[in-house]
Amino acid sequence: MEISTLATYHCLAFVWYFFVAYSIVYIRTEERPSEVFLYGGQWKYLTVLNLILQAVFYGVSFLADVLRLIKKLRCAKCVISSRDLLFSVLAFPVSTFVCISFWTLYSYNRELVYPRSLDRVIPFWLNHAMHTAVLPFALLEILALPHRYPAKRKGLILLGFVAFLYISWVLWIYSVTGEWVYPLFALFSPPGLAAFFAGSLAVIVSFYNFGEFLNRMIWGDSIVILDHKWRSK
């Protein structure tokens, strides 16, 4: 794909995610269900944090495209490295996890993850923008251009560290409020909850590996060629 086309796509994706994130973050206070938006506000939900993550990723991607267009290749090399790290370790596995886990649990019992009271506040299109569209965007990004994945150990350590931070945030909120971020967690005993978190981490790691597999299957040796090209700049 031409750089100018990529720049247009990444710019539009950034604007989209910024708009969606703005739409959910700035829901009027009087409209928020009191049983949902308690301590931590929207910032306790993985879905909302993922929207911010995607906006940052596409903003970095757009910056990388612009730098390549204006021939600032030394700066572009650094930004591209950041872009690829963001996508491989976080943007792809987290968006895939959000989409698949949400709709799986929603189909089983929506009250466990998305209470009906939210229907009065969050319109139908916004629900799908947060929980459905994130996966096609992630897959389209893999199809659009190759990404250089980090060493497996480094990638998994970074992903595990971010997962640990989010789980710590969830547990902190419970310790302060006595309420779980998601009603689903109240169904588990402490050992059961630990097993659930471990299982979720295993799933998101599998999505990381799946993204790496797709990237290599689609782009093959062009990833290595691209790496040598940028190293020689």
| Burial of 33 (C-beta count, 10 Å sphere; 0-12/13-18/19+) | middle
Question: Which amino acid makes up residue 77?
Answer: K
If one counts the domains in the chain, the total is 1
Task: Measure CA 16 to chain center.
Answer: 14
d(CA 21, CA 48): 7
Query: 62 near 11, Cβ under 8 Å?
Result: yes
Q: Tell me the pLDDT tens digit for each residue of 154-206.
A: 999 999 999 999 999 999 999 998 889 898 999 999 999 999 999 999 999 99
- Find the angle CA(187)-CA(44)-CA(120) to the nearest 5 degrees: 80
Copy the structure tokens of residue 189: 């005993």
What is the Cα–Cα distance from 205 to 93, expressed in whole angstroms? 7
> Residue 106 sits in which domain range?
3-232
Q: Which is nearest to 158 in space by CA: 86, 221, 212, 213?
A: 86
How far apart (Å, rounded) are the C-alpha atoms in residues 58 and 54?
Answer: 6
Task: Print pLDDT tens along the chain (233 aa).
Answer: 688 899 999 999 999 999 999 998 777 555 555 555 567 778 899 999 999 999 999 999 999 999 988 877 788 888 999 999 999 999 999 999 999 999 999 999 999 889 888 888 889 999 999 999 999 999 999 999 999 999 999 999 999 999 999 999 999 999 998 889 898 999 999 999 999 999 999 999 999 999 999 999 998 866 555 554 554 55
DSSP 181: S
Matching residue, tokens 């792809």: 92
pTM score, whole prediction = 0.90
* Residues 213 and 88 sit within 8 Å (Cβ to Cβ): no
Round to whole Å and give the CA distance between 158 and 156: 5
Half-sphere exposure of 119 (CA within 13 A, CB side): 5
Token duo for residue 120:
């009065």
